[in-house]
Amino acid sequence: MSRSPVRVFRPWLGAFALVLLPLAGNQAGAAPRTVYAGTLQGAGEVVMELEAAQDGTLTGRYFYPKQGVDIPLKGTPAALYEPKPYYERKEAGLDPDEDAPAGRAAAWQGARDADGYRGQWVDARTGKRRSFQLRRVAEYDPDALAPDSVRAVTDAISGGMGSGIAFDVSIDAERAPYETRKLAGYAVPAGPDIGTPTLAYRMWRDPRTKFSYPRLSRHPDAKVLERVNGLLEQRHWQMSLAALACKASAYTDDNPAAGTLGSYDEEEIKVDWLSSALMTVSESGSLYCGGAHPNNHFEPYTFDLLRGEYLDWNHVFDAYESDGNGFRTESATLLEVVNAARNALASTDATGAADGESLEGCVDLWPSFLALGAEAPGMLSLSVSGVGHAMGVCLGTHAVVPFKDLAPYLKPGGEAYLVVD
């Protein structure tokens, strides 16, 4: 998946499986996981994932689609056990990190074969039994989904939860069959079309995670609309998985946010700019589901609506160049644009944030924490993004450059991106 070259990777995705659940990957030589789907009598549809260890034990998880929250499983082929919530085990005087019989909520007793898994679910509190019939629907390699270890360590410090899936991996039925069954088909339109008769977007909302994310509803090029909506959906899905992972942590953690949506339901997601050539979507808020501190963030994403991909700003002007080590760094042209904006701010009163904290010095974080975007009525936005917790007050847009002022820097064809429809 093509990514914006100005992206500062968010620090809150990916820790879930690496820190809390054995199922979400990055384990050396992890066995393939088998996915089952079917019905539990009286409870409806369930989706389950199981992984077998060399000693014959099984670990896994399952969810009810109406909730989308993973419930851990551990045991043997004859009986898999699901735990009571972490706080219940702790309040009962049990070691919540151990699998004690008194800490079990239910048992799945059955048999597996090449076709599926069937048997009885037994409520540990009441002894009530329900039959289940699950069919085998997929098998996949968890290592192919895992985020890198650097991001996982960062996640454990800030935010604490994540999707467990790397950003460059598409969440689809082949690569991530368990997660795709959790997400596909649940988001629905949550507002009117915003735009013109030929160009518009609409917010979509998954009622389980309670936040909305945009999709294009009209664009002159149907293929571009389809490709960009695929990217927007992937962003929505990554965030939804992280929110649902926080709810699932009620079984594995007792931090104050465990069992909540991790404040994703308070996330502010805006379309800052939409033209037939560009779309900028910004994500901002304060996410928390464990870790040393909340993930205060502001992150703009710009999509190329001429090509149907994340925007490479070098299509507009010479913004980035190779540093000789395989990475991109800011070009002299971009630094000239940034310095001009910084000097303009210096000549005005750029201090005094809304909460009373000074913003003086925030622009000195450029270019290390610079993110580009576009916003109305047709301007390049220069923002601080990806900065550490201590400098969180600086997050956001601090300067704008009218499209017309970029004319001296444009590459051939670059003007096509700066249209104002």
Three-state SS at 418: helix
- 311 — pLDDT class (breaks 50, 70, 90): very high
> What is the edge-to-edge ordering of all strands in the sheet holding 370-375?
370-375, 379-384, 396-402
Domain spans of the chain? 31-140, 156-418
236 contacts 163 by C-beta, under 8 angstroms:
no
Burial 225-258 (b: 16+ CB within 10 A, else e): bebbbebbbbbbbbbbbbbbbbbbbbbbbbbebb
- Compute the residue count for the chain: 421
pLDDT higher than threshold 60 for residue 257: yes
Q: What's the chain's average pLDDT?
A: 89
- The yes-or-no verdict on residue 7 having pLDDT over 80 is no
Query: What's at 388, amino acid-wise?
Result: G
pLDDT for residue 15 is more than 60: no
Structure tokens that stand for 167 in this block: 């950003």
Do residues 282 and 373 touch, judged by C-beta distance below 8 A?
Answer: yes
pLDDT of residue 148: 74
Q: What is the pLDDT, as a whole number, of residue 358?
A: 54
The pLDDT, as a whole number, for residue 158 is 59
341: pLDDT strictly greater than 80: yes
Tell me the average pLDDT across 80-98: 96
Span 327-348, mean pLDDT?
91
Which pLDDT score is estimated for 23? 41
- Burial code (b: 16+ CB inside 10 Å, e: under 16) for 59-84 equals bbbbbebeebbbbbbbbeeeebbbbb
Percentage of the residues of the chain whose pLDDT score is greater than 90? 78
Q: Residue 48's pLDDT is what? A: 98
Q: Are 111 and 118 in contact (CB under 8 A)?
A: yes
For residue 126, what pLDDT is reported? 96
pLDDT of residue 272: 98
Residues 231-247 have pLDDT tens digits of: 999 999 999 999 999 99
Cα-based torsion angle of the residue sequence 148, 150, 156, 162 in order, rounded to the nearest 10 degrees? -30
Given this model, what pLDDT does residue 151 score? Answer: 58
Confidence at residue 161, expressed as pLDDT on a 0 to 100 scale? 75
pLDDT by residue (tens digit) across 120-175?
999 999 999 999 999 999 999 999 998 876 555 556 565 667 889 998 899 999 99
pLDDT at 260: 97
Beta bridge partners of 214: 203
Structural tokens at position 241: 């998985």
Residue, of 136 and 349, whose pLDDT is higher? 136
Where helices occur in 31-131 by DSSP H, the ranges are 86-91
Find, among 252, 11, 295, the residue nearest to 148 by Cα. Answer: 11
pLDDT tops 60 at residue 8: no
* Fold of domain 31-140: Lipocalin (2.40.128)
Average pLDDT over residues 32-37: 96
Distance CA 9, CA 12 (A): 9
Half-sphere exposure of 146 (CA within 13 A, CB side): 20
**Which residues are paired to 81 by β-bridges?**
74, 107
- How confident is the model over 180-185, as a mean pLDDT? 98
Write out pLDDT tens, residues 194-212. 999 999 999 999 999 999 9
Q: Which residue has the higher pLDDT, 162 or 416?
A: 416
What mean pLDDT do residues 177-206 have?
97
Burial of 197 (0-12, 13-18, 19+ CB in 10 A): exposed
H/E stretch holding 137: strand 129-140
Could you tell me which residue, 325 or 304, shows the higher pLDDT? Answer: 304
Q: Using CA atoms, how far apart are residues 81 and 103, in angstroms rounded to an integer?
A: 10
The predicted structure's pLDDT at residue 12: 33
Do 268 and 102 contact (CB within 8 A), yes or no? no
Q: Which amino acid, one-letter code, is at 236?
A: H
Cα–Cα distance measured from residue 369 to residue 386, given in angstroms and rounded to the nearest whole number: 6
R_g of the chain computed on alpha carbons:
24
Q: Note whether 136 and 17 are within 8 A (CB).
A: no
Confidence band (pLDDT; 50, 70, 90) for 17? very low
